Amino acid sequence: MSNTAPKLLVMGNWKMNPPTIGSAKELMLDIRKGIGRHKSEVEVVVAPPTVYLPEMERITPSQRILLGAQDVHSEKSGPHTGEVSLSMLESVGVSHIIIGHSERRAAGETDLEIYKNVQTVLKGKAVAVVCVGETHRDAHGNYFGVVEAQLRAALRDVKPMWLKYLTIAYEPVWAIGTGETATPEDAHEMRLFIQKILMDRFGRSALKKVRILYGGSVKPQNAEALLQEGEVDGFLIGGASLKAKDFTEIVKIGERYVKNNPS
């Protein structure tokens, strides 16, 4: 990524799916077929379960589809049963790391652990996709304070030179897997709020370097409005990323948006 405006990003988070390596291969090959051979103006990333990564790297040699990881451990090695390091992930082709997903936070991941992971990934010059978002919305706007606290904790000690590797994913927890979706106006409002925090912390130049994604029941039916009216820089997609047709259609919607809105 350069200092110019980065590409629109469409990232699929498969979570703990699909159930077998055979079905994972089939899904990835269907996505690859749906995207086609042409050079895309959208950066496409898929984050499968860690055990599938080596095989996913083997069947995506052209890097039209990049690989992501759903989590990382901050240490390089050591007595950390069940964990994987950045170097391990990079050795099987991973370039993007999801950090602080709401499901990880709900399982007990702390702000300190998220901070350490952000430091590790950015220092390693991989792309950190840092997730923030409120569990519910209130009439008084207190949810803005939740997002601000998450951002400031995660980005503490981040150096300006690392910003080109940073992506923020806004995922309102109440819209994940519920079928509900934040409106484009909600997404745009939060994008502006996150930009204000980034500008206060790093200066105006940060706004051209850091992508702000939306995640939360994204599907082909609402993707265009979220781009056009929400003005987000792409998506972190859960359920729809497990359906090759839906995921590739969202990528194509992103490609049309980029074509019609050249920077």
Residue 142, domain extent: 8-260
- How many other CB atoms are there within 10 angstroms of residue 183's CB atom? 13
Does residue 255 form part of some domain?
A: yes
Does residue 249 form part of some domain?
A: yes
Does residue 3 form part of some domain?
A: no
pTM: 0.95
Write down the catalytic residue from 134, 171, 188, 255: 171
pLDDT of residue 1: 34
Q: Is 38 a catalytic residue?
A: no
Does residue 132 form part of some domain?
A: yes
CATH code at position 253 = 3.20.20.70
Low-confidence ranges of the chain (pLDDT < 70): 1-5, 139-140, 177-179, 263
Does residue 2 form part of some domain?
A: no
Write down the catalytic residue from 73, 101, 134, 255: 101
The runs of H, that is alpha helices, within 36-162 are 53-58, 86-90, 102-106, 111-123, 143-154
pLDDT of residue 2: 34
Does residue 233 form part of some domain?
A: yes
In terms of C-beta density within 10 A (0-12 exposed, 13-18 middle, 19 or more buried), how is residue 78 classed? exposed
Q: pLDDT > 70: what percent of the chain? A: 95
Does residue 48 form part of some domain?
A: yes
pLDDT, tens only, 170-209: 999 887 766 677 899 999 999 999 999 999 999 999 999 9
Structural domains of the chain, count: 1
Does residue 229 form part of some domain?
A: yes
Q: Is 101 a catalytic residue?
A: yes
CA atoms within 13 A on the CB side of 96: 27
What is the rounded distance in angstroms from the CA atom of residue 59 to the CA atom of residue 81? 28
Strand 8-13 and strand 234-237: pairing?
parallel
